[in-house]
Amino acid sequence: MNLMSKKGKIVVKALVTGGSASGGPPIGPAVGPTGINIKDVVDAVNEKTMLFKGLTVPVRIECDPETKQFEIFVETPSTASLLLKELGAEKGSSNSSEEKIGDLTLEQVVNVVNAKKDIFLDKTFKTAVKTVIGTVLSIGATLEGEDPRVIQKKIENGEYDDMIKGEI
């Protein structure tokens, strides 16, 4: 948890489990002194993080103790966390070059790109997909039953252009 002040507002930065934050730490002790209803804050956090249910999600809560108003900003979980959720796996492989933890489809990779597209620096959807495929490799998963590098080469050669095109 991180606490800072911004133009009279109290800013609380915390990691919460998507869809199941509670009034306990880290939210309750940080928001409580502002006089803002903790239950309202927790309900808003849970509503906004439901899409990331079960994942650790960074959130920023801006509280105005004077008006008792608050705003919730949800950051996107890491690419690896989103891929692991798609796989239904708890953690990545400890030896990703030898031990595979599962197989992803290109559609699942595209889902992850769509979830994170607001923060990618890549200019095209195609390069963002290739970036995420690099993470598929590092967590120890295969893609479409193959080594992720093989799929990256196929993408470079235009084999999936119909599925992954456009700007971010």
Structure confidence by residue, pLDDT tens digits, 69-120: 999 999 888 899 899 989 998 889 999 888 999 999 999 999 999 888 878 7
Classify domain 79-156 at the CATH topology level: Arc Repressor Mutant, subunit A (1.10.10)
Q: How confident is the model at residue 140 (pLDDT cuts 50, 70, 90)?
A: very high
For residues 83 and 139, the answer to whether their CB atoms sit within 8 Å is: yes
CB 57: neighbour CB atoms within 10 A?
Answer: 24
CATH of span 2-74: 3.30.1550.10
Q: Which two tokens stand for residue 102?
A: 């599962």
Q: How confident is the model at residue 167 (pLDDT cuts 50, 70, 90)?
A: low
The DSSP line for 26-53 is THHHHHGGGT--HHHHHHHHHHHHGGGT
Domain regions of the chain by residue span: 2-74, 79-156
Tens digit of pLDDT for each residue in 22-73? 999 989 999 999 899 999 999 999 999 988 888 888 999 999 999 999 999 9
DSSP lists the bridge partners of residue 74 as 59
DSSP SS3 for 125:
helix
Q: Is the pLDDT of residue 128 over 60?
A: yes
CB 87: neighbour CB atoms within 10 A?
Answer: 18
